[in-house]
Amino acid sequence: MRAPFDTDTRPRKDSLRLTPRKVPQQPIVAPPVSRLAVQLGRLKLANPVLVASGTFGYAREMQAFVRFERLGGVIPKTVTPLPRKGNPPPRTVETSAGLLNSIGLDNDGLEAFIEKHLGYLSGLGTALIVNIAGRTIDEFREMAVRLDEFPQIAALELNISCPNVSCGVDFGIDPRLTAEVVSKVRSACRFPVLAKLTPNVTSIAEIARAAADAGADAVTLINTFQGLAVDWRRRRPVLGAGFGGLSGPAIKPLALRAVCQVARSVNVPIVGVGGIASIDDVMQFLVAGASAVQIGTANFYNPSLAERLVDELDAALAGEGCASVSEIVGTLQFPGDE
């Protein structure tokens, strides 16, 4: 079975087989900490390869395919204060080189997350970054206060950029609101704070600067682009909610542009996400200015990818003669820089 977004028709040695593999009794030793470790503000990670919220469930779904301790961190699906039923189906549709989704932040709410999932996630042997979303700034703050009771959490990622729910991007399109929500959360808890930003703005650098000035330890670039799939015969949108968020290889050039723009104008660590499916993709994001990356849509068709990329990144850095990830971050030679 070939990955759905792969347009290369040549035979591949790593053709996808979604069957559980036998995990060795002795886990593979992680590559040297001195080379792969990264620092995102107050957040230290063993390596810069994370899995993106909304593409990895609560990790239990992936335990047959991934050794979690090999990853830099796990970001479970977004948690909201109260349960959300999400959007009506259909919720996903494949597009040319991408995926359009309209899940609508379907989840059981904060207390259910704490009761049912936090214990398991805390024992994975990797950094746990909890992604949260609220309808108001006070809801963000109150969630941070509640989660602050659990020191096993490594950081919070603020979802101020979801295009698939009412008011989902309001905080991420206004610099003032972005700054206010980041500031409130930062003051309400001990955790490092990552602000996940929307690309659906005129100047993403302006939003990133507001988040950084308010105390964000890093910004995650980018969430999905709002898009539409049409069933022209029925004269209807394909997705039950109409519009959805586009992810996958189709958005990688746009994500790289956002990372580059922010890296060149704002002094803040960047977590790059958008269409990453190979070690070349990872290296492109690092060179463009990201200090870490998240694997998103690729998890759906190659759930072992993130773990494999950790080893491939170590080899790529060694091949470049780099003693650390930071040596290659932001080394893009842009026209006019000479």
| Domain assignments of the chain as residue spans, ordered by start | 41-327
Query: Nearest-CA neighbor of 121 among 77, 162, 82, 81?
Result: 77
Distance CA 248, CA 263 (A): 22
CA nearest to 184, candidates 209, 156, 220, 205:
156
- Distance from C-alpha of 237 to C-alpha of 143, rounded to nearest angstrom: 35
pTM of the shown model: 0.89
Pairing of strands 92-95, 243-247: unpaired
Q: Tell me phi and psi for residue 44, to 5 degrees.
A: -105, 130
The predicted pLDDT at position 161 comes to 85
Known catalytic residues? 162
Structure tokens at 267: 């002094």
SS3 string, the chain, reads: CCCCCCCCCCCCCCCCCCCCCCCCCCCCCCCCHHHHCEEECCEEECCCEEECCCCCCCCHHHCCCCCHHHCCEECCCCECCCCECCCCCCCEEEECCEEEECCCCCECCHHHHHHHHHHHHHCCCCEEEEEECCCCHHHHHHHHHHHCCCCCCCEEEEECCCCCCCCCCHHHCCHHHHHHHHHHHHHHCCCCEEEECCCCCCCHHHHHHHHHHCCCCEEEECCCEEEECEECCCCEECECCEEEEEECHHHHHHHHHHHHHHHHHCCCCEEEECCCCCHHHHHHHHHHCCCEEEECCHHHHCCCHHHHHHHHHHHHHHHCCCCCHHHCCCCCCCCCCC
pLDDT given at position 6: 46
Q: What's the full length of the chain, in residues?
A: 338
Distances (CA, A) of 224 to 140, 304, 311: 21, 22, 27
Output the pLDDT for position 34.
64
Please list the ranges in the chain whose pLDDT falls under 70: 1-34, 163-169
Q: Give residues with Cβ within 8 angstroms of 121, minimum separation 6.
A: 58, 59, 74, 76, 128
**Dihedrals phi, psi of 243, to nearest 5 degrees:** -80, 160
Query: What pLDDT is recorded for position 23?
Result: 41
Homologous superfamily, domain 41-327:
Aldolase class I (3.20.20.70)
Do 246 and 95 form a contact (C-beta atoms < 8 A)? yes
**Distance of CA 188 to CAs 45, 148, 154, 286, 298, Å?**
23, 8, 15, 31, 34
CB within 8 A of 194, min separation 6: which ones?
Answer: 40, 43, 129, 155, 156, 157, 158, 216, 217, 218, 219, 220, 271
> How many angstroms separate the CA atoms of 40 and 48, rounded?
10
Question: Structure tokens of 257?
Answer: 């542009």
